[in-house]
């Protein structure tokens, strides 16, 4: 059975890729904002007339929403994901956000130790954070397409392995890779692009369904492409 090889991008390759993606995202967001300028201009006169009568006390807080996503899985592969986030509307329908991520993953009988003839479980405690940009299309379309959005995200994760990759090791995983006991701190840099669907639930409560693709997928990543995510939020 062939041995799966870890695949990593060098620091220079990753930086080059990030620059290209950032330039693309800036262009994409610029197009979205320019398309929505006409609709914003039509409403500007009404907005100016109402400015003197609408209180501004809560304007800033009304631009903010809090939420995140929670995930559970139990069985041979068990996992818990807690990922709170805060998001603010920057301009028009362009939002920026910050989030914290904690993941617990447990894989039963993931390794086999040939020296003791025993199966070993594999557990991970993963910590990290993320920043993202999201643009809702509601200012461009006045039908169900207005609930769509585009999303770009950078995420940093770190975790510690107690069984590390070793070509001469005596511990095998389910793919026949060899390992030995040890300690290794792993850092994972992910760059996601994708989109999703925004579904209001009631009041200022909403659900966001996302499909994301990791442009920097690697052997150490806890995700597999594509990544499906269900998030929720409440506007302040």
Maximum mean pLDDT: which of 23-37, 121-135, 138-152: 121-135
Q: Tens digit of pLDDT for each residue in 144-157?
A: 888 899 999 999 99
User: Confidence band (pLDDT; 50, 70, 90) for 8?
Assistant: very low
- Alpha carbons within 13 angstroms on the beta-carbon side of residue 112 total 8
pLDDT for residue 218? 83
For residue 27, pLDDT beyond 70:
no
Q: Tens digit of pLDDT for each residue in 51-74?
A: 444 445 457 777 888 988 877 767
Does some domain include residue 188? yes
pLDDT for residue 96? 93
Mean pLDDT, residues 75-94 taken together: 86
Buried b (16+ CB within 10 A) or exposed e, 61-99: eeebbebbbeeeeeeeeebebebebbbebeebbbbebeb
Number of domains the chain is built from: 1
Between β-strands 64-73 and 118-136, what pairing exists: parallel, antiparallel or unpaired? unpaired
pLDDT for residue 15? 53
Does some domain include residue 143? yes
User: Confidence band (pLDDT; 50, 70, 90) for 125?
Assistant: very high
Give strand pairing partners of 178: 172
For residue 75, pLDDT beyond 80:
no
The more confidently predicted of residues 51 and 116 is 116
What span, in angstroms and rounded, lies between the C-alpha atoms of 197 and 167? 44
Does some domain include residue 3? no
Does some domain include residue 5? no
User: Confidence band (pLDDT; 50, 70, 90) for 215?
Assistant: very high
Does some domain include residue 6? no
Does some domain include residue 4? no
Mean pLDDT, residues 11-15 taken together: 52
Residue 52: give the domain boundaries.
Answer: 11-235
In whole numbers, what is the pLDDT of the chain averaged over residues? 77
Does some domain include residue 36? yes
Does some domain include residue 80? yes
The more confidently predicted of residues 232 and 4 is 232
Between β-strands 94-113 and 148-165, what pairing exists: parallel, antiparallel or unpaired? unpaired
For residue 7, pLDDT beyond 70:
no
pLDDT for residue 6? 40
Q: Tens digit of pLDDT for each residue in 95-106?
A: 999 999 999 988
Domain CATH for 91:
2.40.160.20
């Amino acid at each position: 059975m062939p041995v799966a090889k870890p695949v990593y991008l060098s620091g220079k390759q990753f930086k080059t890729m990030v620059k290209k993606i950032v330039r693309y995202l800036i262009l994409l967001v610029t197009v979205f904002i320019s398309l929505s300028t006409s609709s914003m201009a039509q409403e500007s006169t009404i907005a100016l007339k109402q400015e003197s009568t609408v209180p501004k006390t809560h304007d800033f807080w009304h631009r903010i929403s809090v939420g995140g996503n929670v995930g559970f899985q139990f069985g041979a592969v068990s996992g818990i994901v807690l990922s709170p986030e805060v998001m603010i509307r920057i301009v028009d329908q362009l939002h920026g956000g910050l989030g914290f991520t904690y993941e617990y993953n447990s894989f039963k009988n993931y390794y086999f130790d040939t020296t003791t003839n025993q199966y070993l479980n594999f557990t991970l405690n993963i910590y990290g954070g993320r920043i993202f940009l999201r643009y809702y299309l509601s200012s461009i379309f006045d039908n169900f397409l207005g609930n769509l959005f585009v999303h770009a995200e950078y995420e940093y994760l770190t975790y510690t392995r107690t069984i590390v990759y070793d070509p001469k090791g005596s511990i095998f995983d389910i793919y026949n890779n060899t390992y030995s006991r040890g300690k290794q701190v792993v850092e994972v840099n992910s760059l996601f692009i994708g989109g999703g669907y925004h579904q209001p639930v009631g009041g200022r409560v909403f659900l966001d369904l996302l499909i994301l693709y990791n442009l920097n997928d690697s052997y150490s990543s806890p995700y597999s492409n594509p990544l499906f995510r269900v998030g929720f939020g409440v506007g302040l």
